[in-house]
Amino acid sequence: MSFIESLTLTLALIYSCSLLYWSGKRWGAVVSAASLLGAALVTLYWPLFVALLLAAGVLALAHRYQGDFVKGEVRANTLREGIQHLLALSMLLVGIQYAANAVMLKLGITPYLMRPDVGDAFLPIAGAIELKAILTLGIWDQNHPAAAVMLTVVILTGLLCKRAFCGWACPLGLAGEYLYKLRKRFIKRELLPPAWLDWPLRMLKYLLLAGLLYIVLGMPSASIPHYLEGNYHKIADLKMALFFVTPGLITLACFAVILLLAAWRRQGFCRYICPYGALLGLTSFLSPFKIRRSTQHCLIETKGMNCDKCTRACPANIKVHQQGTVRSDECQACMRCVSACPKQEALHFSTRNGIKLSARGLTIMLLLLLFMIPLIAYVGGFWVSQTPTEIRMYLIQHLGAIGH
């Protein structure tokens, strides 16, 4: 685990502990803090200890100057944006470290900056093949174990809290939001497609997901061990990086379409193209937590008013004020509708039997899922790639010649 991974992980988990503590779940805070300390002691990995101290220091400073944020007593929008920006910053630093590692390998220098394994989160097909190997053959891949871990984590977030990963954690979603805002500075109008076009466009991401699933499910189980031991899999991350760094004309055209989509309409990339969005959209149907409108408190039913503030706040253009339960696969659990509602108790992110999840609760759930599972995987020896550096150094020199 690289230092940036250690720091982000400890900061996120200490922040979860703090939120648990301030929400009165003192035992939850103690158990989380003890798990984190236990993990550092079991692994005796010095960056975890240093990161633990640094993270505690950062949180103490934040507590001093941003007390409300640390206690989660800020508006949901502020909390969500804070989490999104912190995770995006962390991914940026991870990207810089990854690039430095790859450049050193390419130059034949033994890297003194290690490869951050969390980058394997960008290998969803490898992750899915690894999960298939675990489930059908009982084989645990040792080249990119973090790919399977991160895919599991993302699926779990969908099963538990809808598309909160898209709305609260994904750096691409945040980048799309900025692109959209930039476009709005020059062209003020909303440029929403008509409903007859919107629906087929939304299905595009499901088609892409189906294509990826076809690759994974169509691969015979018997050939998986050969694939996992092959050179292509060992440097699948470098192949992916090369694809982005040296794009061909078709790839550039695809990038342009993606950027245009993101700028054209809010969440355009998440809504129309992203296969992760499709996967989370499907799993989100099973999530027990959904946005629910109480007709006993909503101004429409109680006062006969024409309120639609929740709908106007929704970036996914869901007609919240006309629904009792928002089941849409486009709902990212962003809670903008809840924040916009003038009537307390009218709108909640809750289960059918009334268990409510506040923005603070959702933050805790998300951070624990995103960081506790990788920590357990790390302690269990299923996170760090076991591919020897010399092999990666050799393979990176022959990157172009290595195929499936």
Residue 392: both structure tokens together: 């990666």
Please state the closest distance from residue 332 (CB atom) to ligand SF4, in A. Answer: 5
9 or 298: whose CB is closer to ligand SF4? 298
Contact (CB, 8 A) for 155 and 129: no
Q: Should residue 293 be labelled a site residue for ligand SF4 when binding is judged by CB under 6 A? A: yes
C-alpha–C-alpha distance, residues 148 and 377, integer Å:
10
CA distance 358 to 337: 13
Instruction: Give the nearer residue to ligand SF4 in terms of CB position, either 347 or 364.
Output: 347
Residue number, 6 or 84, with CB nearest to ligand SF4: 84
Which is closer to ligand SF4, CB of 323 or CB of 387? 323
How near is the Cβ of 74 to ligand SF4 at its closest, in Å? 17
Which C-beta is closer to ligand SF4: that of 149 or that of 364?
A: 364
Position 11 contacts ligand SF4 (CB under 6 A)? no
Q: Which residues pair with 221 in a beta bridge?
A: none
The window from 98-106, 217-225, 229-237, 293-301 that contacts ligand SF4 (CB under 6 A) reads 293-301
Task: Compute the least distance from the CB of residue 133 to ligand SF4, in Å.
Answer: 35
**What is d(CA 239, CA 395) in angstroms, rounded to the nearest whole number?**
10
Supply the minimum distance, in Å, between the C-beta of residue 165 and ligand SF4: 13
Q: How far is the CB of 95 from ligand SF4 (least distance, A)?
A: 28
Number of residues that bind ligand SF4 (CB under 6 A): 28
C-beta separation of 214 from 130 below 8 A: no
Only one residue has tokens 């923005």, namely: 359
* Window 311-350: residues binding ligand SF4 (CB under 6 A): 313-314, 316, 318, 320-321, 326, 331-337, 340-341, 343, 346-347
Q: Which is nearer to ligand SF4, 345 or 390 (CB)?
A: 345
Paired tokens of 146: 């973090």
Cβ proximity to ligand SF4: between 102 and 362 the closer is: 362
Question: Which amino acid, residue 142?
Answer: Q
In the block, tokens 């020896």 appear at: 381
Q: Which residues contact 229 (CB under 8 A, 6 or more apart)?
A: none
Angle of helix 124-137 relative to helix 145-161, nearest 10 degrees, comes to 90
299 makes contact with ligand SF4 (CB under 6 A): yes
SS3 letters for 280-341? HHHHHCCCCCEEEECCCCCHHHHHCCCCCHHHHHCCCCCCHHHCCEECCCCCCCCCHHHHHC
**Does residue 310 bind ligand SF4 (CB under 6 A)?**
yes
Output 7 or 298, the one with its CB closest to ligand SF4.
298
Binding site for ligand SF4 (CB under 6 A): 291, 293, 298-300, 307-310, 313-314, 316, 318, 320-321, 326, 331-337, 340-341, 343, 346-347
